[in-house]
Amino acid sequence: MKTDNLSPADIEKQSMAIIENELQQYDIAHLNPVEKQILKRVIHTTADFDYVYNLLFSQNAVNHALSALQDKNFVIVTDTKMALSGISKTALQKLQGEIRCFVSDSDVIQQAKSRGVTRAVVAMEKAVRLFSDRNVIFVIGNAPTALIRLYELIDENKIVPALVVGVPVGFVNVVQSKNLIMSADTEYIVARGRKGGSTIAVSICNALLYQLYDRNHE
């Protein structure tokens, strides 16, 4: 098998073609074209076709997200440095958006320690204080406590997110946190069950960004 002449773009293109072909055996007629692209990018990241069943979209999730990303004053808030690193900075720059992660801020660390809560909880509270008047997309790939606190802040009318990407991975409070977000008055993209992670959060966010930014111009 020769790979000498395959660029990263070629490999991605071939991978997406394989995914497209294999998706023909699944019933995904309910997905709109953008939802399908998001699903394909998640499968490309994971090689896991279980996301056909696990990846759930609220009715207006994509429309709300794309509208926010065209606002030129939007902000993406993540719960991990990994997600912060992986989300396309070129696309963010072109779309004039901002991305923030507060979990390593000294005030967040100090407050979390004094209150006996996770840094993710305090980071969500800080984001809401700073950005309640802006179009915010929350991208949560690691901490179920972030989703739980975000649910509470939405329920308290402290924030109306443009979108919540809720895909933490693990065993403790993971399923419950996702169910809470799906019951909240907000638009969401959620990976139902235990599966997820920061790489999934990044793939979903980038899939949305790439709807508005042509990567071929890089």
> Is the distance from CB of 187 to CB of 193 less than 8 angstroms?
no
* Calpha distance 168→160 (Å, rounded): 20
Helices marked H in 47-173? 51-54, 61-69, 81-86, 89-95, 106-115, 119-131, 144-155
> Residues 30, 44, 64, 217: which is the catalytic one?
44
> Is the distance from CB of 201 to CB of 38 less than 8 angstroms?
no
Give the side-chain half-sphere CA count within 13 A for 64: 19
- Reference 66, options 152, 187, 217; nearest CA is 187
44 catalytic per annotation: yes
- Please list the active-site residues: 44
